[in-house]
């Protein structure tokens, strides 16, 4: 009887050890701080420099929190849902595409923790069409997050190019939003700055609106743009509700309406040192204000 119990224990021990051995490589792989992807990669690879993965999502799931997904060569790497701190890095000279075809499909969706930091660098994100702007498709959709940095990206053919609807802080640098119904859209109190960006061929270039739950005593949603170019959009800037757009050193050319400031409270546009040419209407204000702010 004792012998039987012992052999059972030994069996259990061996089984546990085998299970641990099986799990260990998976854990090690999950903890890698850099996962590489390449056109010649395979999602069943470990994502090391010599054995890259093929798609962003597989790389995201394998990389350690706070780690890097590094693109090695030009290819499409598929849609990506981000749920943790991670950096997606495409170097200059390489095209890292995220191409989606459905009219309601989004390219990259950030839905992470409130202190997580996400960086997207050098991506080209292509959608299935802007439609009338109601499909909800986004090139980059920023939901809950601590900080999101978007650099050197191109986003085109979505209902919204870059949509900021939750999170703490977003910076967009040197990025193009092209042929989207809304180029850059913000609908919540998120610290946001956009610098050296281009919004082209969008019915709405930049949209900053509150969600109608804001009270007079709430802080304004302030969106700051510097050195941005708005070209051939239908409406350059739209501020609605308790929302303000500050622009400095921007170029606004070939726009139907430079500004629409609609609806309630104190929607506003404050400009400074803009270059404005060949716009149809100039500034129109509907129950809001347009103003200039002093440089400091």
* 149: Cβ contacts below 8 Å, ≥ 6 apart: 117, 118, 119, 120, 121, 170, 171, 173
Applying CB under 8 A, does 195 fall inside the site for other proteins? yes
Applying CB under 8 A, does 77 fall inside the site for other proteins? no
Residue 82's H or E segment, with its range, is strand 80-82
Applying CB under 8 A, does 33 fall inside the site for other proteins? yes
Q: Given candidates 55, 157, 175, 192, which one binds other proteins under the rule CB under 8 A?
A: 192
Rule CB under 8 A: which of 264-293 touch other proteins? 272-273, 293
Residue 217 beta carbon to other proteins: minimum distance, rounded to whole angstroms: 17
Q: Given candidates 147, 253, 274, 285, which one binds other proteins under the rule CB under 8 A?
A: 147
Do the beta carbons of residue 247 and residue 225 sit within 8 Å? yes
Residue 274 beta carbon to other proteins: minimum distance, rounded to whole angstroms: 12
Residue 10 beta carbon to other proteins: minimum distance, rounded to whole angstroms: 40
Residue 98 beta carbon to other proteins: minimum distance, rounded to whole angstroms: 18
Q: How far apart are CA 227 and CA 54, in angstroms?
A: 36
* 37: Cβ contacts below 8 Å, ≥ 6 apart: 47, 52, 53, 54, 55, 56, 59, 69, 70, 71, 72, 75, 77
Q: How many residues bind other proteins (CB under 8 A)?
A: 38
Applying CB under 8 A, does 113 fall inside the site for other proteins? no
* 239: Cβ contacts below 8 Å, ≥ 6 apart: 208, 209, 245, 259, 260, 261, 262, 267, 268, 269, 288
Applying CB under 8 A, does 248 fall inside the site for other proteins? yes
Q: How far apart are CA 75 and CA 56, in angstroms?
A: 11
Residue 7 beta carbon to other proteins: minimum distance, rounded to whole angstroms: 45
Instruction: Specify the stretch interacting with other proteins by CB under 8 A; choose among 2-10, 76-84, 156-164, 242-250.
Output: 242-250
Applying CB under 8 A, does 126 fall inside the site for other proteins? no
Instruction: With CA atoms as reference, report the closest residue to 240 among 276, 271, 286.
Output: 286
User: Cα torsion for 131, 133, 136, 139, to the nearest 10°?
Assistant: 80
Residues that bind other proteins (CB under 8 A): 33-34, 36, 49, 66, 68, 70, 72, 89, 91-94, 117, 119, 147, 149, 151, 168-169, 171, 173, 191-193, 195, 222, 224, 226-227, 246, 248-249, 272-273, 293, 295-296
């Amino acid at each position: 009887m004792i012998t039987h119990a012992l052999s059972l224990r030994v069996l259990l021990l061996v089984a546990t050890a085998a299970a641990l051995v099986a799990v260990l490589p998976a854990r090690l792989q999950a903890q890698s701080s850099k996962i590489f992807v390449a056109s010649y990669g395979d999602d069943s690879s470990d994502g090391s420099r010599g054995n890259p993965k093929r798609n962003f999502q597989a790389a995201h799931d394998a990389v350690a929190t706070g780690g890097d997904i590094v693109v090695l060569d030009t290819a499409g790497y598929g849609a990506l849902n981000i749920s943790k701190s991670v950096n997606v890095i495409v170097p200059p000279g390489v095209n890292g595409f995220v191409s989606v075809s459905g009219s309601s499909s989004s390219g990259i969706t950030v839905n992470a923790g409130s202190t997580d930091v996400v960086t997207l660098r050098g991506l080209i994100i292509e959608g299935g069409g802007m439609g009338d702007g109601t499909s909800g498709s986004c090139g980059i959709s920023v939901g809950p997050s601590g900080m999101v940095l978007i650099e050197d990206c191109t986003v085109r053919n979505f209902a919204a190019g870059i949509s900021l609807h939750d999170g703490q802080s977003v910076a967009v640098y040197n990025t193009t939003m092209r042929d989207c119904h809304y180029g850059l859209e913000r609908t919540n109190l998120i610290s946001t700055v956009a610098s050296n960006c281009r919004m082209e061929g969008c019915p709405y270039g930049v949209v900053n609106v509150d969600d109608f739950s804001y009270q007079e005593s709430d802080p304004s949603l302030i969106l700051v743009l510097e050195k941005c170019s708005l070209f051939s959009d239908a409406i350059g800037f739209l501020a609605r509700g308790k929302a303000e757009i500050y622009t400095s050193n921007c170029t606004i050319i070939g726009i139907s309406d430079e500004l629409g400031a609609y609806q309630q409270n104190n929607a506003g546009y404050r400009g400074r040192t803009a270059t404005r040419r060949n716009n149809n209407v100039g500034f129109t204000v509907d129950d809001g204000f347009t103003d200039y702010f002093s440089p400091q």
